[in-house]
Amino acid sequence: MACLFLVANRGAYKGYFSDDDLDNLVQTHRAPISHFAQALVSPKFSPDNFRPAGHFVYKALGAAAGLNFPVFVAFLQGLHLLNVWLIWLVLRRLGAPILGAAAGSLFFAFHVACFDAYWKPMFVFDVLCATFLLVTILFYLRGHWLLAAVPYWLAYKSKEPAVTLPAFLLAYEYLCGERRWYRVAPFALIAGLFTGQAMLHNRGSNNDYTIRLTSHAFFKTFQFYSSKILLLPFAGLILLPIAWFVKDRRVRLGLATIALLLGPMWFLPGRLFGVYLYIPLIGAAIAFAFLVASWKPSWIALFFLIWLPGNYYILRKERAVALTVAFENKPYVEALGRFLRDQPAVRTVIFDGGPTSMNRWGIEGAVHWFQPAPDLRICDLADERSRELLKAPDLAVVSWDRPRRKLITATRFNDREPAAIIMATGNPVWLFGEGWYPLESGFRWMQPRATVRLRHPAGTREFFLRINLGPVQFRDQGPVEMEILLNGHSLGTRTYDKVDWLERRWPVPPDISETVEVTLRALKPYKSTNGDPRTFGAAVAGFGFVE
């Protein structure tokens, strides 16, 4: 089974870090070991979602392997297979026969709703939490209920949904146990301690992490998770009559556990992810193991002959999405690393766009990983703070050409302006004035009017402007007419009249100063018909004085 799992998920080793991964790597790399130790034993709720057990994985693997992504995947998948073994032990302890325990373990091992738990390190918190919860359950079933409080504490310190375990233990005592309720007390005290603090902290908040105790929120989450648990829309509803008609209390325990371990997720409609079923699948494994215990082996085989290919079919779709993201994130981060290693004096970084699926904190994390100087300043070009940082003498600008998956860089260690700018090779955005949009594939859209500061070398007599006139703009607008102004004086207009990368030139008068304020103006503003709400002028590929 382990071999089949690793073969089916071998593509994960070709993946790459997400923005959350990069942020976690940097934050944990900076944190001292004492910070993890203190947070691990602290009874206080962490308002910034610091999970010392889970975050320590990033600390340890980051120190040992750096940005070697396959190491992280190997750890994640190894931890999952450990959980499969622990599921087996729990099922056997509950009294499942060998064939039933094997079926329950296999159901837990291959469930594509939890695809992210096997492919993305950022969900190590869920997988590690399940590990400690399974150890807790195993100790509890063996009678070591006080000792079980230790892994339970670690489970919560891995991720907060662990607070729902006491509900499972109560259900076990009622349905299958000896109803010794006092044994649940230590776990209820731990869960109550952190749940009470969390509710006080989140009171008055209004974001995706806010608990919403409404019927609308419950229906939305029920629709999502009931469709994920058996891979078909609302297929999870079939579990309700099973719970009613099947008399085996262990089946009922498992089905109840699915709902109980989802806990607060029922009321978090802003956080809907299939991977959040990873911990509740413990209940699904229990229910399935005892449901099929009376089946003929041929029936179980038939079920998995349908179930496993169906999971693999969906896995292939999920794999394509994950690898598409990885194929952009990896070259970006690697190119960023090569650039920053060659620029040790840089203390100010402005990023101009990035990979499609990478948010601001991921880019900032990557920059801080390669340039850990404590006085480093970094921000997005679209941020208001960038206006001040663009004046810094130790500035580096990193622009991302998404279609070509190419990093375009520019550094500023002196005040000498260039005579020309080619978007595909350099973007000294500190020279840009108003009217510019983010870099695209070798060009940058301008608004109907845009300004830039350039150096006018002595003796130059021509100014060029190269634009990318695409088929959509030409169809919508026809020819594009552009005007160039130097220090406010017009050089006249030129027309770009066909779909192509076109260059036009203007004569430059001899009495132009060395530093020139250049204005590019499109005589006819352009509104795209593809739904983009912005107003454009032209897609500028390059401009400047011809030396």
- Per-residue model confidence as pLDDT tens digits over 218-232: 999 999 999 999 989
- Give the pLDDT confidence score for residue 271 in this predicted structure: 86
Q: What is the phi/psi pair of residue 477, to 5°?
A: -120, -25
Q: Is residue 397 part of a domain?
A: no
Nearest to 518 by CA among 437, 467, 450: 450
Q: Is residue 339 part of a domain?
A: no
- Asked if the model's pLDDT at residue 490 lies above 90, the reply is yes
Q: Which domain holds residue 428?
A: 419-547
Find the length of the chain.
547
- CATH classification at residue 517: 2.60.120.260
- Give the pLDDT confidence score for residue 47 in this predicted structure: 82
- Asked if the model's pLDDT at residue 415 lies above 70, the reply is no
Q: What is the percent of the chain where pLDDT is above 70? A: 99
The CA distance from 127 to 114, in Å, is 10
* Amino acid at the residue 392: A
Confidence band for 207, pLDDT divided at 50, 70 and 90? confident
- Give the pLDDT confidence score for residue 204 in this predicted structure: 65
Q: Is residue 342 part of a domain?
A: no
What integer is the mean pLDDT of 35-55?
A: 92
- Give the pLDDT confidence score for residue 150 in this predicted structure: 97
What DSSP state is assigned to residue 298?
A: H
Q: Is residue 155 part of a domain?
A: yes
- Give the pLDDT confidence score for residue 210 in this predicted structure: 76
* CA distances in angstroms from 86 to 75, 159, 382, listed in the order given: 16, 19, 49
- Give the pLDDT confidence score for residue 294 in this predicted structure: 86
Residues 281, 428 within the same domain: no
Q: Is residue 282 part of a domain?
A: yes
Q: Which of 229, 262, 294 is the last residue of a domain?
A: 294
Burial readout 103-131 (b: 16 or more C-beta within 10 A, e: otherwise): bbbbbbbbbbbbbbbbbbbbbbbbbbbbb
The CA distance from 479 to 413, in Å, is 40
Residues 427, 281 within the same domain: no
Confidence band for 414, pLDDT divided at 50, 70 and 90? low
Q: Which of 242, 260, 294 is the last residue of a domain?
A: 294
Q: Which of 260, 294, 328 is the last residue of a domain?
A: 294
Q: Is residue 284 part of a domain?
A: yes
Q: Is residue 87 part of a domain?
A: yes
- Asked if the model's pLDDT at residue 203 lies above 80, the reply is no
The CA distance from 377 to 392, in Å, is 10
The count of other CB atoms within 10 Å of the CB of residue 425 is 12
Residues 286, 428 within the same domain: no
- Give the pLDDT confidence score for residue 61 in this predicted structure: 97
Q: Is residue 12 part of a domain?
A: yes
Beta strand residue intervals within 471-514, DSSP E? 480-486, 489-496, 500-507
pLDDT tens across 242-291, in order? 888 898 999 999 999 999 999 888 888 888 999 999 999 999 999 999 99
pLDDT tens across 99-118, in order? 999 999 999 999 999 999 99
- Give the pLDDT confidence score for residue 94 in this predicted structure: 96
- Three-state secondary-structure class, residue 461: coil
Domain count, the chain: 2
